[in-house]
C-alpha cells in the first residue's frame, strides 16, 4: 500500500522536484537552493468503515488498519529517488512525503489483501537523506514562488483544487510460478501485483505495482520498489539549463507494516486520542486567554508607572519653547563603531504632553546584533532568552533577512521583542526609551501633517508596494527603503507612513501596528490616519513550522518594525 502511495509521492517528486531544479537560467540556482524544505504536520482523517469502495466484513475475519506516515510516528514509509547530470557531473537526491492517510483491509486467516487506499498531502514533503537541494525545487514547483516567469515560477500542481493525491486498489493478483512479466526495479521475489487507480492534480491513471507481501499471524507487511516515468504524466522540464539532463525515470520505494493491535485501527484508542486532543485544545485556549490577561495587566502597570513618573516630574506646565528641538543618543556593540540615532521633539497636543520621537525607524544596523546576542556571551544570551529579554533566532527560510540589512528598517519582530529592545537601549544610554503609545503615535502623525491626500505627495514620503524597489535577483522580493531616503514630515520625522509598520502600546488586549508598510498595495487597501493592523499569532505566524510558534518573530506578517520615543527631562 505504501508503495502505491510512494508511487503517487514519487510522481510528485520526480515531476516537481526534478523539474524545479531545471526551470529557468543559472541566475535562479540560488533561489532553489535557498528554499528550505517544508513539512506539513496535518493529519489525514481516515474513515475505516469503507476502504477504496470495499466494506470490511468482520464476520469473515477482515482486519482494517489505518495508515500513517512514519514521519508522524506511523506505520508507512514512502521514498523517492532520482537525479540529473549537469556539466558531466551527476547528482542523486531523494525525499519523503511526511503526511499521509488511508487504510488497508486484509484477511490474515486467508492471507489475502482486500482493499487499499492511500491519501497523500501534496505539500507535505521533506528531504530524506541526500545532499542535493531538490526539496527547495519542490517548494518552487509545487507551491510556486513569486510572480510568473521570468521573475518567478508558476506552481506545477493545483494544490487549491487538488491538495491530495489518492491511490485506490481493490485488485491484488498473486504472482503465479509461470509469470514471466518483468517490472523494472521490482523487488526480487515479489509476490503480488497491486492494481488500482491513481488520482493526481486532476488526472487519473492506472498503476500496477509489484510488491512483496508477507503475513505473520495478524500482521501484514508490504514492501515494494518500482520505477515511474515523468513524461508519462506529462510533466517535463521547462527551460532546462544548457547541458543539464534530468532523469525521466524515478525510482520509488515504499513499505507498510499493518498491526491490528498497533492502535491506529482501535476504536477505543482513537476515541481516547480524540478526547485528549479536545482537552488539549481547551487548555491551549485557556492558556492563551491567561497570557492575554497577563499582557494586558503588564501594560496597565507600565502605563501607571509612566503616569506616575510624569506626575512626579510635571510640576508646572512644560514650556515647550525651552526644550531642545532634538537630541542624539547612541548604542555600541563590542568591537564596532557607535551607532547614533536622533530624537525629534513632538510638542504634544491635548492630553498628550510633549515627548521625543526617533527621527528614523530602528534599523537592522541597530537591532540585528542585539537580537543575536553579539554584545554578550552565549550563556548570558541563553539566560536572557529564557526571560523573554532576547529573541530566539529568526526561522531560517523567513524572507526578512533577504530584504537587506544595514540601514533598512528592522522588521518582523513581535511586540515582546520590540519592548525588550527598547529596555536594552535604555540600559545602554542611561536614558529611558520605550515604544510610543497609540495616542503619541497618532499625535506625531497629525502634527507632522497627517496623510497627504495627493498620491504623488504621499509617495514622496512613504514606501508602499506601489512604489517599492523590486529585487530582481533571487529570491524576487520587494524591498524596504533605507531609513531617511524619503522626505520627512513637518516635524522632521521620516517613514511614519509606509516602509515598516510600527508597534504602539496602550492598546488594550489588541496588539497593533500603525502607519502601513512596504508590502501594502494602496490599490487594494488605502492608507489613512486611522489605519491599523491587529496582531494574530494564528494569522501572522500561520506557517511558522515550530510548535509552540515563536513569541519573538512573525513569519507571515513581517512588515512591522520599531520606532523609539523618550519622555522630556
- Domain locations in the chain as residue ranges: 2-264, 299-567
Let me know how long the chain is.
569
Eight-class DSSP state of 36: P
For cell 512604489, the residue is 467
Q: How many Cβ atoms are within 10 Å of 256's Cβ, its own excluded?
A: 29
pLDDT of residue 401: 64
Query: Which residue is associated with the grid cell 493545483?
Result: 158
Grid coordinates representing 98 are 511526511
Low-confidence ranges of the chain (pLDDT < 70): 1-41, 86-89, 91-93, 125-157, 230, 233-244, 246, 261-282, 284-289, 291-293, 295-296, 300, 303, 305-317, 396-404, 472-476
Q: What is the pairing mode between strands 501-503 and 339-346?
A: unpaired
What does the alpha-carbon distance between residue 467 and residue 470 come to, in Å, rounded to a whole number?
9
Give burial (CB, 10 Å; 0-12/13-18/19+) of 117: buried
Q: Give the residue among 242, 241, 36 at the shortest CA–CA distance from 140.
A: 36
Q: Name which of 475, 396, 398 is nearest 147 in CA terms.
A: 475
Q: Are 97 and 120 in contact (CB under 8 A)?
A: yes
Beta pairing, strands 219-229 & 76-86: unpaired
pLDDT at 288: 64
**CA–CA distances in Å: residue 314 to residues 301, 318, 344, 354, 379:** 19, 7, 20, 11, 42
User: Could you give the CA distance from residue 291 to residue 511 in angstroms, rounded to a whole number?
Assistant: 13
Sign of the CA dihedral with 375 first, then 379, 385, and 388 last: negative
The pLDDT assigned to 36 comes to 40
Beta bridge partners of 463: 498
* pLDDT score at 497: 97
How would DSSP label each residue in 452-480?
A: -SSHHHHHHH-B-GGG-EE--STT--EEP
CB 551 within 8 A of CB 388: yes
Residue 373 neighbours by CB under 8 Å, 6+ apart: 380, 381, 384, 390
Give residue 6's pLDDT: 34
Q: How far apart are CA 493 and CA 486, in angstroms?
A: 10
From CA 65, how far away is CA 417, in angstroms rounded?
A: 47
The residues with which 119 forms a beta bridge, in sequence order, are 101, 166
Using CA of residue 502, residue 507, residue 512, residue 514, what is the dihedral sign?
Answer: negative
- Angle (CA) 348-567-434 rounded to 5° is 110
CATH 2.40.128.110: does it fit domain 2-264?
Answer: yes
The answer as to CATH 2.130.10.10 being correct for domain 299-567 is: no
212: which 3 cell numbers?
A: 512483496
- Please, which residues bridge with residue 96 across strands? 79, 126
Q: How far apart are CA 529 and CA 451, in angstroms?
A: 6
Take residue 434 and report the three cell numbers written for it: 520605550
Q: Is residue 78 within 8 Å of 9, Cβ to Cβ?
A: yes
Whole-number Å distance between alpha carbons of 501 and 303: 22
* Cβ atoms of residues 114 and 106 within 8 Å: yes
Q: Any alpha helices (H) in 176-241, and if so which ranges?
A: none
Between the CA atoms of 396, 400, 402 and 407, what dihedral angle is there, to the nearest 10 degrees?
Answer: -130
Distance CA 119, CA 548 (A): 27
Which candidate, 350, 295, 357, 284, places its Cα nearest to that of 327? Answer: 357
> Concatenated DSSP letters for 410-425?
P--B-HHHHHHHHHHH
Amino acid at each position: 500500500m505504501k508503495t502505491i502511495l510512494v508511487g503517487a509521492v514519487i510522481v510528485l517528486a520526480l515531476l516537481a522536484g526534478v523539474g524545479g531544479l531545471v526551470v529557468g537560467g543559472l541566475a535562479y540556482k540560488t533561489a532553489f537552493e535557498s528554499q528550505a524544505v517544508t513539512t506539513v504536520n496535518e493529519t489525514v482523517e481516515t474513515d475505516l468503515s469503507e476502504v477504496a469502495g470495499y466494506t470490511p466484513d468482520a464476520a469473515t475475519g477482515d482486519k482494517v488498519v489505518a495508515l500513517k506516515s512514519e514521519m508522524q510516528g506511523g506505520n508507512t514509509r514512502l521514498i523517492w529517488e532520482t537525479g540529473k547530470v549537469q556539466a558531466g557531473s551527476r547528482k542523486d537526491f531523494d525525499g519523503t512525503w511526511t503526511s499521509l492517510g488511508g487504510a488497508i483491509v486484509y484477511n490474515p486467516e486467508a492471507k489475502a489483501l482486500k482493499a487499499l487506499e492511500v491519501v497523500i498531502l501534496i505539500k507535505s514533503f521533506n528531504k530524506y537523506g541526500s545532499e542535493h537541494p531538490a526539496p527547495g525545487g519542490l517548494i518552487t514547483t509545487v507551491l510556486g514562488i513569486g510572480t510568473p516567469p521570468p521573475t518567478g515560477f508558476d506552481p506545477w500542481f493545483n494544490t487549491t483544487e487538488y491538495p491530495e493525491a489518492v491511490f485506490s486498489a481493490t485488485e491484488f493478483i498473486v504472482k503465479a510460478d509461470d509469470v514471466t512479466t518483468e517490472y523494472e526495479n521490482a523487488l526480487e521475489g515479489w509476490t503480488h501485483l497491486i492494481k488500482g487507480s491513481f488520482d493526481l492534480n486532476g488526472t487519473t491513471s492506472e498503476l500496477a505495482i509489484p510488491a512483496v507481501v508477507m503475513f505473520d499471524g495478524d500482521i501484514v507487511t508490504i514492501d515494494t520498489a518500482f520505477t515511474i516515468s515523468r513524461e508519462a504524466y506529462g510533466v517535463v522540464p521547462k527551460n532546462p539549463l544548457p547541458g543539464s539532463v534530468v532523469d525521466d525515470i524515478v525510482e520509488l520505494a515504499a513499505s507498510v507494516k499493518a498491526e491490528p493491535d498497533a492502535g491506529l485501527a482501535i476504536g477505543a484508542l482513537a476515541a481516547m486520542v480524540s478526547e485528549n486532543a479536545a482537552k488539549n485544545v481547551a487548555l491551549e485556549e485557556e492558556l492563551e486567554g491567561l497570557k492575554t490577561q497577563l499582557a494586558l495587566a503588564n501594560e496597565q502597570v507600565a502605563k501607571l508607572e509612566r503616569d506616575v513618573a510624569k506626575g512626579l516630574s510635571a510640576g508646572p506646565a512644560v514650556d515647550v519653547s525651552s526644550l531642545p528641538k532634538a537630541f542624539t543618543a547612541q548604542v555600541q556593540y563590542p568591537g564596532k563603531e557607535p551607532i547614533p540615532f536622533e530624537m525629534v521633539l513632538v510638542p504634544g497636543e491635548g492630553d498628550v504632553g510633549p515627548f521625543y520621537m526617533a527621527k528614523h525607524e530602528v534599523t537592522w544596523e541597530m537591532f540585528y546584533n542585539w537580537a543575536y546576542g553579539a554584545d554578550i556571551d552565549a550563556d548570558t544570551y541563553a539566560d536572557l532568552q529564557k526571560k523573554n529579554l532576547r529573541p530566539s533566532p529568526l526561522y531560517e527560510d523567513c524572507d526578512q533577512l533577504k530584504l537587506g540589512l544595514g540601514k533598512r528598517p528592522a522588521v518582523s519582530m513581535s511586540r515582546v521583542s520590540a519592548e525588550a529592545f527598547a529596555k536594552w537601549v535604555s540600559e545602554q544610554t542611561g536614558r529611558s526609551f520605550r515604544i510610543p503609545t497609540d495616542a503619541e503615535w497618532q499625535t506625531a502623525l497629525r502634527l507632522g501633517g497627517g496623510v497627504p491626500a495627493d498620491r504623488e505627495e504621499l509617495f514622496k514620503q512613504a514606501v508602499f508596494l506601489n512604489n517599492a524597489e523590486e529585487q530582481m535577483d533571487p529570491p524576487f522580493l520587494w524591498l524596504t527603503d533605507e531609513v531617511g531616503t524619503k522626505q520627512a514630515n513637518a516635524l522632521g520625522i521620516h517613514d511614519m507612513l509606509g516602509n515598516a509598520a510600527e508597534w504602539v502600546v496602550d492598546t488594550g488586549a489588541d496588539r497593533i501596528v500603525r502607519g502601513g508598510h512596504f508590502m501594502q498595495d494602496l490599490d487594494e487597501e488605502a492608507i489613512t490616519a486611522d489605519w491599523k493592523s491587529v496582531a494574530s499569532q494564528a494569522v501572522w505566524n500561520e506557517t511558522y513550522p515550530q510548535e509552540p510558534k515563536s513569541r519573538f518573530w512573525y513569519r507571515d506578517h513581517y512588515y512591522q518594525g520599531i520606532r523609539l520615543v523618550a519622555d522630556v527631562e
